[in-house]
A and B are shown apart, each in its own frame.
Chain A
Amino acid sequence: MLANLSLYLTVLAPTGLLAYTPQTAGDLVVVRAERLILTPGNELAPGVVLIEDGRIVGVGGDLATPEGARELSGKVACAGFIDPWSSLGLDPQSVRDNATNPAVRTADAVDPWHAPHLRLEALRGGVTSARVQAGISAPLGGIGVLLGLSEADSPILLEDACVSATLGVSRPRKVDIFDRISEVDRLVGLIEKGRAYRESQVEYNHEIEEWEKNVAEKEKELEEDFKKAKKKREKDLEKAEEKGSEFKEKRYREDKKPKRPKFDVVSEILARVAHGELTLVVEVHRSAELRRLLTNTADFDRLRLVIVGATEALDHVDALAERRIPTIVWPAPIGDVRRDEYSEHDLSLAGELERAGVLVLLGGGGGPHARELRMLAALAVSQGLDRDGALAAITTRPARAFDVAGRVGALKSGMDADVLVFDGDPLDTTSKLLYCLSKGEVVVE
């Protein structure tokens, strides 16, 4: 993979878009900002971030610059953005594939050679990682990946971040209400099947343990009694010979071995979903499907649901807020909205959901253009979303929803050094991105 980056750098270098400064291991970088946003709402003014070997090693109000460190300074610094709804960096055929199943690995669709300029554009927009998905509009997509957008040798932060599904999404034709409802039932049915599959496995494990114990005991017993049994058999044989009758072996019986549940590759994955080991991301827009989904999944107490799209989610804010279901909204300007299920789409959706107590995330709509994420967040702020909420919606919340909060989404010691330095507020679209650091490497300046 090392070759990949150098390849796309050689492609891009002549364009002057990227001034690449390779940072060898052990390199020190210090970021100084007048305002340092550690997490949205938790700021230092001024603040310093110390970076070594691609990781944040110190955050403080006033830290001295170690010798030999490169110093970067600007007005505001914050963590790199995460696009929780994207297909950037993937082989386009796998993204469009509607015949995927939950066991398909998006990791297999990650194509560093495909359109590297889109990844660079995303970095220039401050997006340093994204949740990407093969079969993004398929009824059942594959296992989603949390992808770093610049890392040369290991672009994948988390290989199994989630499983995705869509309900009532036009592909490409409209879906009628009965089909949509049956799609919900099918999905819930699969989760149910996954849960039952895991239960049958657990049950089998118990049964087989017991069976093996019994058999071992029995075998020991039989071995002890073998001499006796042999003598008896010889006697019986003689007797039978004397009488001239046929000799019959004694009939042996033992407990039947419990049967292993049949392996099913899809249920393997859905068992993990039903038990909350994998997040289930469902793109759903209309009120009817969303209601049915929320109602029918209510008794899966370990299921971790994420709602994507959520055009008519305002009808169900109570359930969404109460179950703390992360809801990814795409505050897309008109013109980007192509599909029927977006007809009720309103730019104020994110703000209204947030005010109703729903955990709002902002995403790029599933396309490869993650570069717009900051603009979309600003748009949502202009339509009523709280500023800190908007920043959290593209940093800490997606990190938590997809199990990478220990690595990205905030400025904290020990985390990956994905740092953005602006000459103004990050959500002011006119402020310039001075530096973008990914794993401690300055990838944009």
Chain B
Amino acid sequence: MNSNMKTQRGIQRSRNTFFFAALIALGATLSAQTDGKIVVEAGRIITLAGEDIENGVIVIDNGRITAIGPAGEIEKPWDAPVVGGPAFTAFPGFIEAHTSSGMDRPNENFEVAPFLDIRDSIDPVSYYFEDCLRWGITTINVQQGAGCVIGARGMVVRPVGMTVEEMMVRPKYGLKISAIPKRGKSRSTQMQSLRYAFDDLRRYLEGLVEKERDERGQARREALFQGRDVEGEKNKGRAMGGTAWKVDGLEIIPRGAIDEKHEPLLDLVEGRYMIFFHCGSPIDVPHAIEIAETNGFLERTVLVLDEDCWKAADAIAKAGVPVILDGGLVDQRRDPLTGEERETFVPEVFEEKGITYAISSENWNDRSLWYQAALATGLGLSRDKALAAVTRTPAEILGLSDDVGTLEVGKFGNVCLFTGDPLSVTTWVDKVVIEGRPVYDRADDVRNRHLLEGVTPQGTAPPVADEGDEHDGDHEEEHQDEDEDHHEDKDEEHGEEHQDEEKEG
């Protein structure tokens, strides 16, 4: 047991070292190529905005695409580095429409917490973001999970950068609301909390206005009594906007006087936030629509749906809101009367009803967007539609169409170079360029090689399992700290030994 523990710790440590080595490698490529020009060459470019281009060239300058077309027609800047080649297929990066991955602890404690921000929770060194590059995902909408009533503000990020600021594409992007009962709640109590949040906002604002009016009234009367001239009105605010309910007289309250718990909700009612409304069952859909409609943010609402929510497709179509599929692509249910299994291919239902839908990877590690698109194609969705559901459509839903989703002049230079067709099982992402920066190259992906080829990168080998009998169990428990230090030394020694061996070999 003693030696086992040591081995485990050793592996853990070597993993960390290894991880940082990988990150430093990534960081180095990043800083080397900022904002410059770059040319991407590919045997085929799938632009998703018209015909594919055979033997094409993409010129990216200052983060955005400045030219795209067949090799002969495009002038390549002489001073730009070139990425890719005829063996590759260029593809716009995938867009993760909605995920709760990549966070260190998201809020699951506060029921109503619109004052929180995902920014404080995103973990730039999460494996998830590293994996996104391997999967060809270049834009990610990170939102809190459904364990809330009103959750934190989300953020759109790119999966590169050592800090959240470097990763940021759009800060404060959207707010999470859940119709799914939070732990300890049922549908009825969840809805009660949700309604209460907005009732409470209204009462709070009315209270503020009333207090301000009373104070002004009294000040006026005092001035009249004392024979002073009435002072001019101060504290100018802004009248309440939005399309739903209004609180009269809000213009006398400066916006800065509204506390941080209510301010984001007011923004919401005034239609200044995008809402990701999580629905776990068809009944949640009319509930979500009702809440959004009565509080004036239906137009900015995106429903995040579990698989059986397709049953409420008519209500969704009527409300005209886009959806993100966060459950399986196929809904399997047993009929309570006949016992018959019924399978429903969810995208097909939304397709028929004319509902805009994006497919997400459902927070699974083994169902990335290319897998999802390929699966959807296999289940009967046309290739174009399946690809759109993981690129163009999520860009539209997220309001990022000007930047991402297709390969066109003016958009971000986010390009994935596949070794073949993006939906084929035998191809992989070989290189990724994000906003003109080559951020991923499979040849330099040490962890990938470690996993697939068994090649141990230099300086990252785990220590040999049995370190001998220097310590017995008691000793280790008594002098844990000492032992730790000791161990670290040994790791380093060991690493060096290993390097030497390799050199010799």
Q: Does A338 contact B (CB under 8 A)?
A: no
Q: Does B186 contact A (CB under 8 A)?
A: yes
- A106 contacts across to B, CB distance below 8 A: 188
Instruction: Contacts A17-B337, A250-B226 given; indicate if A94 touches B186 (C-beta within 8 A).
Output: yes
Please give the distance in Å from A351's CB to the nearest CB on chain B: 36
Q: Is B188 a contact partner of A14 (Cβ separation < 8 A)?
A: no
Q: Is A257 a contact partner of B214 (Cβ separation < 8 A)?
A: yes
Q: Does A387 contact B (CB under 8 A)?
A: no
11 A-B pairs besides A12-B337, A226-B224, A229-B224 with CB distance below 8 A are A3-B315, A96-B186, A99-B184, A109-B186, A111-B283, A114-B283, A117-B336, A215-B221, A219-B217, A231-B227, A249-B228
- A254 contacts across to B, CB distance below 8 A: 218, 221
Please give the distance in Å from A140's CB to the nearest CB on chain B: 12
The interface size of chain B toward A, counting residues with CB under 8 Å, comes to: 38
- B282 contacts across to A, CB distance below 8 A: 113
Q: Is B287 a contact partner of A108 (Cβ separation < 8 A)?
A: yes
Q: Is A117 a contact partner of B337 (Cβ separation < 8 A)?
A: yes
User: Beta-carbon contacts of A1-40 to B below 8 Å, as 1s and 0s?
Assistant: 1110001000110110100000000000000000000000
For chain A residues 67-112, which have a beta carbon within 8 Å of chain B?
A: 91, 93-94, 96-97, 99-101, 103-106, 108-112
Q: Is A97 a contact partner of B188 (Cβ separation < 8 A)?
A: yes
Nearest A residue to B207 via CB reads A260
For chain A residues 226-245, which have a beta carbon within 8 Å of chain B?
A: 226, 228-234
CA distance A189 to B313 in the complex (A): 46
CA distance A389 to B488 in the complex (A): 86
Q: Does A398 contact B (CB under 8 A)?
A: no
Q: Is B188 a contact partner of A223 (Cβ separation < 8 A)?
A: no
Nearest B residue to A230 via CB reads B227
Q: Is B187 a contact partner of A108 (Cβ separation < 8 A)?
A: yes
- A228 contacts across to B, CB distance below 8 A: 227
Nearest B residue to A236 via CB reads B227
CA distance A182 to B38 in the complex (A): 77
Q: Which of B187, B203, B218 has the most CB of A within 10 A?
A: B187
User: Beta-carbon contacts of B402-426 to A below 8 Å, as 1s and 0s?
Assistant: 0000000000000000000000000
Please give the distance in Å from B207's CB to the nearest CB on chain A: 9
Q: Is A105 a contact partner of B227 (Cβ separation < 8 A)?
A: no
- A97 contacts across to B, CB distance below 8 A: 185-186, 188-189
Q: Does A222 contact B (CB under 8 A)?
A: yes
Instruction: Contacts A232-B227, A265-B196 given; indicate if A94 touches B188 (C-beta within 8 A).
Output: yes
Nearest B residue to A98 via CB reads B186
Instruction: Contacts A104-B189, A111-B281, A219-B221 given; indicate if A3 touches B226 (C-beta within 8 A).
Output: no
Out of B224, B312, B314, which one reaches A223, CB within 8 Å? B224
Please give the distance in Å from B361's CB to the nearest CB on chain A: 26
Q: Does A178 contact B (CB under 8 A)?
A: no
User: Beta-carbon contacts of B222-249 to A below 8 Å, as 1s and 0s?
Assistant: 1011111100000000000000000000
Nearest B residue to A1 via CB reads B286
Out of B181, B184, B229, B283, which one reaches A113, CB within 8 Å? B283
Please give the distance in Å from B258's CB to the nearest CB on chain A: 19
Out of A1, A105, A223, which one reaches B191, CB within 8 Å? A105
Please give the distance in Å from A160's CB to the nearest CB on chain B: 14
- A109 contacts across to B, CB distance below 8 A: 186-188
User: Beta-carbon contacts of A384-428 to B below 8 Å, as 1s and 0s?
Assistant: 000000000000000000000000000000000000000000000
Name A's B-contacting residues (CB within 8 A): 1-3, 7, 11-12, 14-15, 17, 91, 93-94, 96-97, 99-101, 103-106, 108-115, 117, 134-135, 142, 215, 218-219, 222-223, 225-226, 228-234, 249-250, 252, 254, 257, 263, 265
| A–B Cβ pairs within 8 angstroms, 11 of them | A12-B337, A91-B186, A93-B181, A97-B186, A100-B188, A105-B188, A108-B287, A109-B187, A111-B187, A135-B188, A222-B221
- A223 contacts across to B, CB distance below 8 A: 224
Closest CB pairs A-B (n = 9)? A229-B227, A233-B227, A3-B314, A108-B191, A97-B186, A222-B224, A94-B188, A230-B227, A94-B186
Q: Does B365 contact A (CB under 8 A)?
A: no
CA distance A222 to B314 in the complex (A): 63
Nearest A residue to B220 via CB reads A219
Name B's A-contacting residues (CB within 8 A): 181, 184-189, 191-192, 196, 203, 214, 217-218, 220-222, 224-229, 281-283, 286-287, 308, 311-315, 335-338
CA distance A326 to B483 in the complex (A): 76
CA distance A142 to B190 in the complex (A): 13
CA distance A93 to B335 in the complex (A): 20
Out of B203, B217, B221, B314, which one reaches A252, CB within 8 Å? B221
Nearest B residue to A14 via CB reads B338
Nearest A residue to B309 via CB reads A113
- B229 contacts across to A, CB distance below 8 A: 230
- A222 contacts across to B, CB distance below 8 A: 221, 224-225
CA distance A252 to B282 in the complex (A): 62
Q: Is A94 a contact partner of B314 (Cβ separation < 8 A)?
A: no
Please give the distance in Å from A211's CB to the nearest CB on chain B: 11
Please give the distance in Å from B52's CB to the nearest CB on chain A: 40
- A91 contacts across to B, CB distance below 8 A: 186-188, 281, 283
CA distance A257 to B211 in the complex (A): 11
- A93 contacts across to B, CB distance below 8 A: 181, 186-187
Q: Is A142 a contact partner of B188 (Cβ separation < 8 A)?
A: yes
Q: Is A134 a contact partner of B196 (Cβ separation < 8 A)?
A: no
Nearest B residue to A263 via CB reads B203
CA distance A232 to B227 in the complex (A): 8
Please give the distance in Å from A48's CB to the nearest CB on chain B: 35
Nearest A residue to B342 via CB reads A11
- A249 contacts across to B, CB distance below 8 A: 226, 228
Please give the distance in Å from B467's CB to the nearest CB on chain A: 53
Please give the distance in Å from A12's CB to the nearest CB on chain B: 7
Please give the distance in Å from A127's CB to the nearest CB on chain B: 18
Nearest B residue to A108 via CB reads B191
- A230 contacts across to B, CB distance below 8 A: 227-229
- A110 contacts across to B, CB distance below 8 A: 283
- B283 contacts across to A, CB distance below 8 A: 91, 110-114
CA distance A170 to B218 in the complex (A): 57
Instruction: Contacts A99-B184, A103-B192, A108-B187 given; indicate if A229 touches B226 (C-beta within 8 A).
Output: yes
CA distance A104 to B287 in the complex (A): 14
Q: Is B222 a contact partner of A100 (Cβ separation < 8 A)?
A: no
CA distance A229 to B227 in the complex (A): 4
Please give the distance in Å from A389's CB to the nearest CB on chain B: 34
Nearest A residue to B211 via CB reads A257
CA distance A52 to B191 in the complex (A): 37
- B281 contacts across to A, CB distance below 8 A: 91, 111, 113
Nearest A residue to B333 via CB reads A11
Please give the distance in Å from A444's CB to the nearest CB on chain B: 15
Q: Is B312 a contact partner of A3 (Cβ separation < 8 A)?
A: yes
CA distance A135 to B50 in the complex (A): 56
CA distance A345 to B83 in the complex (A): 83
Please give the distance in Å from A162's CB to the nearest CB on chain B: 15
Q: Which of B188, B189, B313 has the most CB of A within 10 A?
A: B188
Please give the distance in Å from A132's CB to the nearest CB on chain B: 11
CA distance A134 to B283 in the complex (A): 15
Q: Is B217 a contact partner of A215 (Cβ separation < 8 A)?
A: yes
- B186 contacts across to A, CB distance below 8 A: 91, 93-94, 96-97, 100, 109, 134
CA distance A135 to B192 in the complex (A): 13
Please give the distance in Å from B236's CB to the nearest CB on chain A: 23
CA distance A254 to B225 in the complex (A): 11
CA distance A112 to B282 in the complex (A): 9
Q: Is B224 a contact partner of A3 (Cβ separation < 8 A)?
A: no
